[in-house]
Structure 1
Amino acid sequence: MQQLVARADRRLFLKRLGATLVVAPAFAPLGAHAAPLEAETFALVADAGANQSRALQAAVDTAAGEGRPLLLPAGTLHARDLTLPDGLTLQGVRGRSRLAAWQDGPVAQISGARAVTVNDVDFAGATDEDRGLIEVEGSAGIGLYRCAFLDGAGTGLLARDSQVVVDDCTFSGLGDAAIHSMDGRGLAVTGCRIRDCGNAGIRIWRSTIGEDPTIIANNDIRNIDWQGGGNGQNGNGINIFRASGVIVSANRMFDCAFSAVRLNAARNTQVSDNICLTSGEVAIFSEFEFSGSVIANNIVDGAAGGISITNLDRGGQLAVCSGNIVRNIAPFSSVNPDVSPYGIYAEAETVITGNTVENVPGRAIAAGYGPFLRNVVISGNMVRKADIGIAVSVVDGTGAVHIANNLLAEILDHKVAGLAWDDVVEPDLLANAGRFANVSVSG
Structure 2
Amino acid sequence: MIQKRYRSTVAHSMTRRALLGGGLAATATLLIQPAAAQRIADLRGTIDAGEFGVRPGAADDQSALLQRAIDAAAKRGRALFLPGGRYAVANLRLPSGTRLVGLPGQTRFDYQGGGHLIYGERAKSIGLEGIHFDGGNRALGEYTPGLLHFADASDLEVTGCTVSGSAKAGIALDRTSGRIHANTISGARQAGVRSIEATGLAITDNLVRDCGNAGILVYRWNEGEDGTIVSGNRIEKIAAIDGGTGQNGNGINVFRAHGVIVRGNRVADCAFSAIRSNSGSSLIVEGNSCLRSGETAIYSEFAFQGAVIADNLVDGGAIGISIANFLDGGRLATCSGNVIRNIANEGPYPAEVQGFGIGIAVEADTAVTGNVIEKAARIGLHMGWGPYLRDVAATSNVIRDCPTGIAVTVVEEAGPALIASNLISGASAGGVVGYRWKDPVTDDLTQAGAKTYPHLSLSGNLVS
Q: With structure 2 as the length reference, what TM-score do the two structures score?
A: 0.88
Structure 1 residues 425, 183: closer, same or farther in 2, change over 3 A? same
1:373 aligns with 2:383: no
Paired position in structure 1 for 2:377:
361
> Paired residue for 2:412, among 379, 385, 396?
396
> Paired residue for 2:128, among 118, 122, 126?
118
1:297 aligns with 2:311: yes
1:38 aligns with 2:52: no
Q: RMSD of the TM alignment (CA)? A: 1.9
Structure 1 residues 428, 152: closer, same or farther in 2, change over 3 A? same
- 8 Å CA contact retained: 2:211, 2:237: yes
* Alpha-carbon offset, residue 100 of structure 1: 1.6
Matches within 5 A, 1:220-231: 220-231=234-245
1:349 aligns with 2:365: yes
Identity over aligned pairs, percent? 39
Paired position in structure 1 for 2:179:
165
Paired position in structure 1 for 2:139:
128
Paired position in structure 2 for 1:440:
457
> Paired residue for 1:326, among 340, 355, 371?
340
* Greater CA drift, 150-159 or 42-51: 42-51
- Give 1 or 2: higher strand fraction: 1
Structure 1 residues 18, 193: closer, same or farther in 2, change over 3 A? farther
Paired position in structure 2 for 1:411:
427
> Paired residue for 1:250, among 254, 261, 264?
264
Q: After superposition, give the CA deviation of every residue in 1:26-72 in whole Å (9 maximum; x if it has no partner).
A: xxxxxxxx3x2111111111122332211111000000001111011
Paired position in structure 2 for 1:28:
none
Matches within 5 A, 1:380-391: 380-391=396-407
Q: After superposition, give the CA deviation of every residue in 1:192-251 in whole Å (9 maximum; x if it has no partner).
A: 101100000000000011111111111100000001111101000000000011100000
Matches within 5 A, 1:3-42: 21=44, 34=45, 36-42=46-52
User: Once superposed, which parts of structure 1, at least 4 consecutive aligned residues long, lie more than 2 Å away?
Assistant: 5-19, 126-131, 334-339, 430-435
Alpha-carbon separation, structure 1, partners of 2:302 and 2:273: 15
Alpha-carbon separation, structure 2, partners of 1:122 and 1:11: 27
Paired position in structure 1 for 2:201:
187
Q: Secondary structure at the match of 2:69?
A: helix
Matches within 5 A, 1:61-140: 61-125=71-135, 127-128=138-139, 131-140=145-154
- 8 Å CA contact retained: 2:344, 2:356: no
Q: After superposition, give the CA deviation of every residue in 1:395-432 in whole Å (9 maximum; x if it has no partner).
A: 10101110000001111211110000111111222246
1:214 aligns with 2:228: yes
Paired position in structure 1 for 2:25:
none
Matches within 5 A, 1:311-322: 311-322=325-336
Task: Give the AA of the match of 2:57.
Answer: D
Q: With structure 1 as the length reference, what TM-score do the two structures score?
A: 0.92
Alpha-carbon separation, structure 1, partners of 2:284 and 2:245: 24
Q: Mark the structure with the bigger radius of gyration.
A: 2
Q: Secondary structure at the match of 1:375?
A: strand
Alpha-carbon separation, structure 2, partners of 1:387 and 1:144: 49
* Alpha-carbon offset, residue 127 of structure 1: 2.4
Structure 1 residues 13, 348: closer, same or farther in 2, change over 3 A? farther
Paired position in structure 1 for 2:11:
none
Structure 1 residues 395, 179: closer, same or farther in 2, change over 3 A? same
1:58 aligns with 2:68: yes
Paired position in structure 2 for 1:174:
188
Alpha-carbon separation, structure 1, partners of 2:452 and 2:313: 36
Alpha-carbon separation, structure 2, partners of 1:49 and 1:197: 30
* Greater CA drift, 321-330 or 428-437: 428-437
Structure 1 residues 158, 9: closer, same or farther in 2, change over 3 A? farther
Paired position in structure 1 for 2:295:
281
Task: Give the AA of the match of 1:92.
Answer: G
Alpha-carbon separation, structure 1, partners of 2:429 and 2:81: 67
Structure 1 residues 16, 390: closer, same or farther in 2, change over 3 A? farther
* Alpha-carbon offset, residue 335 of structure 1: 4.1
- Number of residues paired by the alignment? 425
